[in-house]
Amino acid sequence: MNQKPAATIGTIIFDLDGTLVDSVPDLAGALDTLMAEKGLDAIGTETARRLIGHGIPNLVRSALAERGVAWDEEGGKAAVQRFTEIYGARVSQETRPYAGVVPVLEKLLAEGWRMGVCTNKMERFARLIVDDLDLGRFFKIVAGPDTFKVGKPDPRHLTETARVAGGGQPIVYVGDSEVDIATGKAAGVPVIALTYGYTKTPLDGLGADRLIDSFAELPAALASILENAGSNGVSL
């Protein structure tokens, strides 16, 4: 049953993979199936975790490069299409929310935050995951790079998602990678970065407003950002 939120107090936009859900098992499984079909060694979970974050075409290109396969447009397009078919058949088979995600989202919704998802995963796959894991009740919008025809780190992906989420100011972005931090900074909104995700670069020094180690720390990080903005007379 959907909760009735309190009066709106702002907007939180979340990345999906590595932030709300651990999707590596399904992505790695799909990559390994693709590699097997091509007679190549499996990619495996840990390597897949390192490659995630820039959308399916880049994921497939990077995985093939790991196996010494040179990219060409015709072969690459076919590989991306095949991966999309494989992954679409198992998109939420093993993907699960991280610990603390559901209770924290329930708390934020009850407090009056409007929330959305801004991910470089194609919208249809992101929606499948969100709906299959019963997270759709929390979000006004789930936006992939195909939703507004632009993907992260372009700030328009984030700002358009926030606009449709409809929560107004303040806007805060929550992610797990260098791409997320760059997107938030380009959009001029505070960024909270989770350290447990799929980043390819150490997050220290990348300019996130807060680094947190677990989703349960998110409410305190949000409160700190809002308090700091208020004490400085800043309108986010």
Catalytic sites, residue numbers? 15
Q: Which amino acid is at 221?
A: A
Write the secondary structure of 176-224 as one string of H (helix), E (strand) and C (coil).
Answer: CCHHHHHHHHHHCCCEEEECCCCCCCCCCCCCCCEEECCHHHHHHHHHH
Give the whole-angstrom CA distance, residue 14 versus residue 28.
Answer: 22
Nearest to 170 by CA among 222, 108, 111, 210: 222
DSSP 17: B
Cβ pair 43, 205 in contact under 8 A: no
